[in-house]
Structure 1
Amino acid sequence: MGKKVDNITIIKSITLLFIGLTTLMAVILYNKFEDAKYAFNRNCYYRLENIQDRTNEEVKKLDSIRTYKKVSNSDVAEFAHLNSIIRSEQWYLSLSVHDYQWKIGKLKQTYQEQVSFGIILDSYFNYLKQTYKDKEYIDYDKENKKIDLVFKYYQGIQKILNGHIENVGNTGSLDKHEIINEEKWVSVYSEINKFDDDFKAQYSSQLVSTENK
């Protein structure tokens, strides 16, 4: 009788120990998953923040040169550099969206390998650098309509990012808690992606046509 009770006690103890260890492992794995997800979302937040900072800088500089009578080659080089940074961050964000499809779902329609209008802008800046490489200044009278298109594009990106700022009280920066903990970077990226597609469909031919004149 005593042995049976001891055996039952041992079995119960082993079972409880197993349940306890399983629960502990589940908690540890869950915390690791949450930490990894937080780090991933935080990285996406900083990419968005960098896009925002560089876009604000690009818009400010483009707006100022529209008052110039002459645009220097160094101005163009600076625009091309900023565009390269913005496009790179957008591209990495698109990869993040792809990596997160397994979790979020419903993103197959919004995912693209990269935001592609930036490539057209790169092409335009390269055209300017090549066309005016032997001259000190860009022919702004000839290029102003195209530069205005570039300005309009970046203004659109800026409005998308700043729209999210206004939703959190116009603080001047993206809502870090919302982006990281609620993965709102996905919807921000989707808006940028849609804007890019719409803008490219409407204006890219006007920008590219400059190179053929």
Structure 2
Amino acid sequence: MNDPAIRALLYPLFTEGVYIEELPTGGSRADIVHVTEQFMHCYEIKGAGDTMQRVINQLGHYMRVYDFVTFVVTERHVPRLMPLLPEWVGVMVATSEGLITHRAAGYNSAVERTALGGLLMVDELRQFMLARGLRGVSTMQRREVLHIMRHAHNIPVSHWARYTRERLTARLPVRTQKRAERKALRESQPPREPWRKTIKRIKRRKRPRGLP
């Protein structure tokens, strides 16, 4: 079972809130993030053709941001995946008959404020801080704002998390529209030549005259 087929099984689960696909998170992209007023739940998909090579790196990014994390995989991946995950990370198995919960996700208590800041635009960070009495941030660069955020212990992480959920939800219509525009632009352009053929043609051009 491939990625699109697994996504199709997940969509009906999101009966409240919104879901965001391919959300940049640290150095990874979360396949699907379900955002409600109460939590953010990250779903990472591993289809039949995927490997487990990036699991540790991806989890390192996701556990700093999301309240719940679940890996959705085909059955053949389960034996190799389970030893890589802490007990609070959920695992679902995608089959031809639907999704089976192998292990339900537990609550993640390791969310970090600066990692949450990575999901927000710098103007959103500034607005949040100004509204809570942190002066002088309106002209700061992103790096400086995140430094202030890291040390703003008078603002609970839960407040940052709630604001992040609100902003992601509010931004979704714009994000969806931009993705649709990019897709339409790609589809309007002529198909690209396979990269192997392109490389061969370049090599052929560079071949010195007189050589076969």
**TM-score, normalisation: structure 1:** 0.27
Larger Rg: 1
Which one has a larger percent strand, Structure 1 or Structure 2? 2
**TM-score, normalisation: structure 2:** 0.27
**Which is bigger in relative contact order (C-alpha 8 A, separation at least 6)?**
1
